[in-house]
Each structure stands twice: as C-alpha cells, then as structure tokens.
Chain A
C-alpha cells in the first residue's frame, strides 16, 4: 500500500520520492566526466581558463574591446563562468535522454531526472569556475561589495533557465534528432547575442528592448554587477530575465511532461 508506485507521473510528490536518484545521476555524471583522463578534474579549471585567455588575447589585446573600466580578462571571465554552465549543461542535457535510451525503455523513473541530474552535476564545475574567479579578483585587486549578497538569486535564475531550456531541447531531441545538429549553432549564436565578450554599452539603444528578452543577458549582467562595485544592478533588466526564465521553465516543463508519455515508444 505504498503510495510510491502509482503516483501521478511527474508530480511533485513523485519527484520528491525519487530525489536520491537525481543525486545518483549527478554523481554518475561527475564520476564519469573526467574518468580515464590523465589530468582528471583539472580540466574543470583548464577549460574556462583557456577560454578566458583566448578571448582576452583576441578581443582584449588585439581588438581592444572596452570593458566598463574593468580589466578585460576578469570582465570576460566573470561572464564566462555562468555562460559555460549554461552552454555545457544545455549541450549535455539535450542528449541525456537519447544517450540513456536503454534506461528509458527498461525502467520507470521520472524522466526529468536525467536533464536535471546533468544540471546538478554542472554546478560542481560552476563552483570550481567561481573559485578560480575569486582568485583572479584577488590578483586584480577587485574589492567585493554588499551586492554579492544578490548572487544566490542570480545563480537560482541561471539554474532555472538552464533546466527550462534543457527540458525543452532534451524532449524535442527524442523525437527530432535534428536538435543535436542544430544546437551547437544555436549555442554559438547565443554566445554572441549575449554581452559576454563585449560590454552591454556597445549595444545600440534601439536594439536593447529586443535583446533584453534574452534572459542570458540579465543573468550575466547581474552576475557582473554582484562582483564589481562600480557596476550598478540593472533591476529592470534582471526583472525581465526572471520573467522570461519563468515562462521558459514552465513551457519547458509542460512540453516535457506532454512528450514524456511517448518517450519509450519514439526514442
């Protein structure tokens, strides 16, 4: 007479019941990510660091990109940390259902745990990236301010947004494998559409309202504002991002829930 077996698919109580499996999926991903790699977990540091050095040389030195009066390497890296989380998780989570086909067709569990597990595992890399960021800030003598207290909220928005888009893409990928090929382009365009390697001040005023609909902008902007005292938090921008994020999350969850019923049949 345990309620576990016939709970409504995807209901909150069911998700709570399966919370340990979420942890196990995340644990598996972390265990496997750098296994049989000689440098192991060091890759979690090397990857964003290398990106940053590359961008710093290319855009900071060669192109002389302005950076709101902050040293360009740290200006860029500070945005790359949340962006790397978003893009990496999105890439992995979109394939999480397809690559676990044998699980999907052999055993029942709330399917959303697969992309969600990827998002949870990605937080480890995010933390490592953040620690690296702190080191860089010490190196550049950037002083922290009270605005840092906002960062948990920004991180929450970042995770919600990532999970929302991931649910959408992962579920679509089960039916249309086109997603796998289209996604790398989407992520690349998204990177350039977001003020990460360039400051938001470069965006012409007339395009701002439209680009503000890109929730990544708000997240990246707020993340920078949390760390640098001279950058004010743009509450209207982050507000718009939170709104869009919630819409994306609800839409993603709804589509996932609808599609979930036929995963085992169409995969």
Chain B
C-alpha cells in the first residue's frame, strides 16, 4: 500500500442543538406527554463540519493542516484518530496512530508524576513494558525529576505541560497526529517540542500537524492542506498554500482603519486623517502583516485648505504600552505641502522588523514647527504582525523574544583556528 492515510469523500454532520422546539409551556408539556424528547427530532439544526473531503498521504510525509477557527481542522483530526465517526465517506489508515489533541490527556491531579506517566502512556497506547523502558528518558525530557513522586496538583502548569509532552514525545507511532499543542508553553519549551517533532520526522514517520503557528508548519511540513468551511480549499506545497491562505485572511481590497468617525480627536481640524492602510506589496491591503515583510503604510487625509508645510507622524506602541518608535516627516526634514482636498501619503518600510504581536498607533499631524496641531488620534490604529519564518530556520520567534528583530547574519568565517591572529589584531590598534 503506497498510501498510509487515505480519505475519500469524507463528510461529518453535527447537530447543533434544538432550534426553538417548544415555544410555549403548553407545547412543552404536550411534548413531554407524547415522549417526543425520546424521538429523533426533525427540528434539529445540523451543520456540515466537513464536506466531501478527499486526500491521501504517503508514508513518511509531513502534512500541515491550516485554516481558520471552525474550518473543520479539528473535526478532521478527530475522525482520523477515531474519536468520532464520519457521517459518510471512507477513511483508511494503515499503521499505529498516536494523536495528541491535548497534552497530558487523562492526567489526574491526585496521582504523582510517575503514576501519571504510566497512566498517560497507557492511554496513548504504550505498553507498560515500553513505559518501563523509556521512563528515564521521559523523566529527563520533562525536567521534573525532583518532583516525580509528588502529586501533579502541586505542579505548575508549565511542569504539567512538560511532563505531558515528554510522554508524547516518546510514543513510537507510525502516524503522529498533532493539534495545536504547541500553542502553550514558554518559548524554550516550544523549541524543544519542535525539535522533537523534527527528529520524529527523521524516523520516516507520517506526521499530521494542525497549527496556527504558520512558521512551524512551514518548517515542519513540505505539504500543506488548507481547509475552509469544511472543504479543502488548497492542497499543495506548503509555501504556496500558506501564501494563499495569508492572502485570504487579510481579505481582498482595502482593509484599513477608518478614522473619519473617531471621537475625541484633538487639533484644529484643518487637516484630518481619514484612514490608514497597510499594504503588503506581495498581496493586497492587509490587516495581517507578517514579520519581516515589506509594507507600505498609506495615510489618507483630507485638508480643508491648502497648507504650505505640514508634518505627518505617528507613535507606535506595543499592547503593553511600550513606545516602539516615534517617527515623522519632520524627523526626516521633509516639508509636506498640502492642497485642499483628499489625498494620501505613503511610508515605505522595506522590512517590518517587528516581532509577531499586536501594536497600536497614535497619529498626529502638525505644522512644521509642531506648534499648531491639526489632528491627533491616540491609539487609533491597530497593526497585527503575524508570525513568519523570520530567520529562515523555522524556529518560533515571537513576542517573548522581544519587540523587534534586526535583519542580520551570523558569519562563521572566523571560527576556524585563526583565533590567535584575531586576538593580535584586536590588541594592536591600542599599541600603535
């Protein structure tokens, strides 16, 4: 069999509760008396979580599954890991499956770390002998050796997570199904998990990986399936699928912050900001910009009269309120003459070196000396920066590692045994 997972015309229907079945008490009582609650109800509303999904995955392939919340990704994983049954369609899986839809499934607060390793391992399909054999490795990976015989209710959430992933990382399945388990945990630990998953891949294991961390998907999977509204929207090489997905998330046309109706703005009003657009040259106007992308910020304004020399500027803050930067045309020594009417001004950024997070912008518009304020809006615009493969390493680089990153390169040319010379050259300038 060349395919390890083969899915044909898979559909899954969910009942989403009863749609206003009994509107009056009398009807409810009649319903109760006729035992209608015991019958399958025709009024039940249903939705298709998955519809007509077909694909197949070869042995050793690593496939990412992306899509918006509620697109059907989790339902697909649940069907593949046999937790729920499809409404119709055929699923064929060849091999031992381990599915990690949650870290530490079945952990019990009252049991000790050691006991939970055995229980969790057993639930995930490990034989007791296997756990016996791998216990030391699991304990070492988790880093909770000191607390092994302490009930895990005394553990921090981080320790519990580490323990859970330690067990999961030592499963030895043919097919590994992972759902968003890396969304939690500190950066250090996420790195460790991703490394472990990469090692898993080295062992020619088939991996299905659902995540919102597109950088991780990009690094881990050569193929990617994009699910949208319960159907496969795109299936192909990871990079192109992610590009297409990102494009759709931002939506076509103008996605911008409209500013005309913002209350509480200060200033004389001779010139007003109308809107701010973020334009990514590779895509259309986008609310989501990826870290490291080139981006154009377009400031739309309307001037009531012509002004010989104005200054446009903004301050950018993190969502914690830290000032990231304050920049303006006057800092650049640029005079902007304005004519009455509507127009726009562009700020071009070659590489948006912000780490993924949410930022807010305060805008201002003054005369060249900053004496007369025409317009001033505090925290009026939000910019969301999405994760991307910043250093082309697939490592998760996110807001825990700071606010900005610099375009940079490590140069290893000097590491090959010329240390002595280097020291000499460092010392010599001081002497001469």
Contacts and interface: CB of A to CB of B under 8 A. Distances in A.
Interface of A: 1-2, 4-6, 9, 20-21, 24, 28, 31-32, 35-36, 100, 102-109, 261-262, 264-265
B115 interface: yes
29 contacts: A1-B94, A1-B95, A2-B95, A5-B96, A5-B97, A5-B175, A6-B92, A20-B122, A20-B128, A24-B118, A24-B128, A28-B108, A28-B111, A31-B111, A31-B115, A32-B111, A35-B110, A36-B110, A100-B106, A102-B102, A105-B83, A106-B83, A106-B105, A107-B105, A107-B106, A108-B81, A108-B99, A262-B84, A265-B84
Most chain A CB within 10 A, of B78, B84, B92, is at B84
A114 B119 CA distance: 13
A108 B91 CA distance: 15
B110 A32 contact: yes
A234 to B, nearest CB: 38
Contacts of A261: 85
B351 interface: no
B84 A264 contact: yes
Nearest to B109: A32
A102 B115 CA distance: 19
Contacts of B122: 20-21, 24
A220 to B, nearest CB: 33
User: Looking at A9, A100, A107, which has the most chain B CB atoms within 10 Å of its CB?
Assistant: A107
Given A20-B122, A20-B128, A108 B83 contact: yes
Contacts of A4: 96, 125
A9 B84 CA distance: 11
A6 B105 contact: no
Main secondary structure of the interface of B (DSSP, over half): loop
B94 A107 contact: no
Contact of B93 (A5, A20, A28): A5
A176 to B, nearest CB: 9
Contacts of B174: 2, 5
A1 B81 CA distance: 16
A174 to B, nearest CB: 13
Given A5-B97, A6-B93, A265-B15, 13 more contacts: A1-B94, A5-B96, A24-B128, A102-B102, A104-B83, A106-B83, A106-B105, A107-B83, A108-B99, A109-B123, A264-B83, A264-B84, A265-B14
Interface residues of B, number: 33
A28 B128 CA distance: 14
A240 B403 CA distance: 77
A20 B108 contact: no
A175 B115 CA distance: 32
B95 A106 contact: no
B187 interface: no
Contacts of B137: none
A24 B123 CA distance: 9
B78 A264 contact: yes
B138 interface: no
Contacts of A106: 83, 101-102, 105
A192 B96 CA distance: 50
Contacts of B119: 24, 28
Contacts of B124: 107
Contacts of A5: 93-97, 174-175
A91 B127 CA distance: 30
